[in-house]
Amino acid sequence: MTALRVIHGAAALTAAGCLAVTLGTGLADRGIALAFGVLIAVGELTRWTDAEARQAAPLAAAGSLAYALLGADAGRPTHHHAAQVVTVALAAAVLGAVPHIWSGRTPTLDHLARRVLTVGFTAVCFQPLYNEGLFASWEGSAYALLLIALLGLTGLCDAVLAAALAHARTHWPFAPRLREELRGLLGIGSAVGATGAVMALAVAVVGLWALPVFCLPLLLTQLSVRRYAAVRATYRQTIASLARATEIAGYTPVGHARRVAALSLAVGRDMGLAGGELTVLEYAALMHDIGQLSLVDPVPAGATASLPAAQQRRIALLGGAVVRQTGVDAAVAVVVERQADPCREQPVAARIVRAVNAYEELTRDAGPEGPLRALEELRLATAGDYAPEVVESLARVLARPRGWREAAPVRGEGRRTALSDPAPGWVTHG
């Protein structure tokens, strides 16, 4: 948790220093500060509390960046400094976040720390140089390229902070988290940056009336992303319902598929999987036993790990055929089909599902010593049945204080819709 304390401490010191400077010098251009403060507060009030959102408050982020990059208002030079930018952005963000803080639905502290540091970075890079007149001769494309370069550096800074916070809170590997955050910049992250730059340029030409005009496209984009996420949530719930068919029919114990999926995702993250790879892993883990529905005689307790290899492959192939008929991604069917293949021939997701399924079956009703015995059995079988790197990753996950246990995914405000979504309090790109 050292990185977490360092980031929070740096944000707190930055906020305190900027507030002290602003109180000492007074608030310059109060009308402009009020307009951008209202914009940022409204953006925080409309914050998307779905944990899947990579940018939870795009309007507030764009408004903060626009204020940090603002050099003029309707042709008249502004006089605010970097400390004032941070102070106004933080005060407005806190005001807009009050309802979310009250409901406890969002990782507000991490969000505010990132907002302070990223906006402060942008303002420090731009405002002092602009106020000194160094950019006075920059016009047209040169000035636009300058803003794009600053936004690129700001996006990189924010991605590093997001990955560091996620790593500190979850102990997932840092590099895959950083890659996922950088990929997120190509989506709504680029829209936020572009909107911030355009608003700063537009206000410099036509004044504050440009703010509501250029906010509308970003609000529509946010609405579209929410609808897309709702469709994905419905799709995931359908997958979860299909996975429960084996439990309802009495082929597998209640909750077996969910436990395997939760632990598989924790192992996948520990091994560096991210994004679409985790989604495929989740779906395959949920549906890994669906081939048992084709059996005339159920497997006792649904325990397939102890069956002969030929019978395991038969059930896996039947499961893959069922998955293909449901219209789920073909990559999920491949993982389900190959979960019983020799481990050296399996894709990584199939290796994980096979090992985790065996662990769950071995520890079922095994008593306090069950987990240790199960891990020992899996280690002894790494010569042919289970991948050694997966078994060791499983041991690391189980050794962590928070473990792999996660709340059941449910759809609703501020709650996860799938196990592959971050847990409450874990930061993505917001």
Report how far residue 267's alpha carbon sits from residue 261's, in angstroms, rounded to the nearest whole number: 10
Closest CA to 203 of 40, 30, 78, 43: 78
Closest CA to 264 of 253, 277, 251, 254: 277
Look at residue 120 in the predicted model and tell me its pLDDT: 94
Q: By CB neighbour count within 10 A (0-12 exposed, 13-18 middle, 19+ buried), where does 272 fall? A: middle
Domain boundaries, the chain: 2-232, 244-399
pLDDT tens figures, 301-321:
777 877 888 888 888 888 888
pLDDT tens figures, 381-425:
877 788 899 999 999 888 876 544 543 343 333 344 445 443 333
Closest CA to 96 of 149, 31, 143, 45: 45
Look at residue 11 in the predicted model and tell me its pLDDT: 93
When the pLDDT of each residue in the chain is averaged and rounded to a whole number, the result is 82
Look at residue 107 in the predicted model and tell me its pLDDT: 58
pTM (2 d.p.): 0.75
Specify the fold of 244-399. Hypothetical protein af1432 (1.10.3210)
Look at residue 89 in the predicted model and tell me its pLDDT: 93
Report how far residue 153's alpha carbon sits from residue 160's, in angstroms, rounded to the nearest whole number: 11
Look at residue 428 in the predicted model and tell me its pLDDT: 30
Look at residue 218 in the predicted model and tell me its pLDDT: 82
pLDDT tens figures, 58-81:
888 999 999 999 988 888 888 899
Q: What is the mean pLDDT of residues 259-278?
A: 88
Q: What is the mean pLDDT of residues 185-198?
A: 84
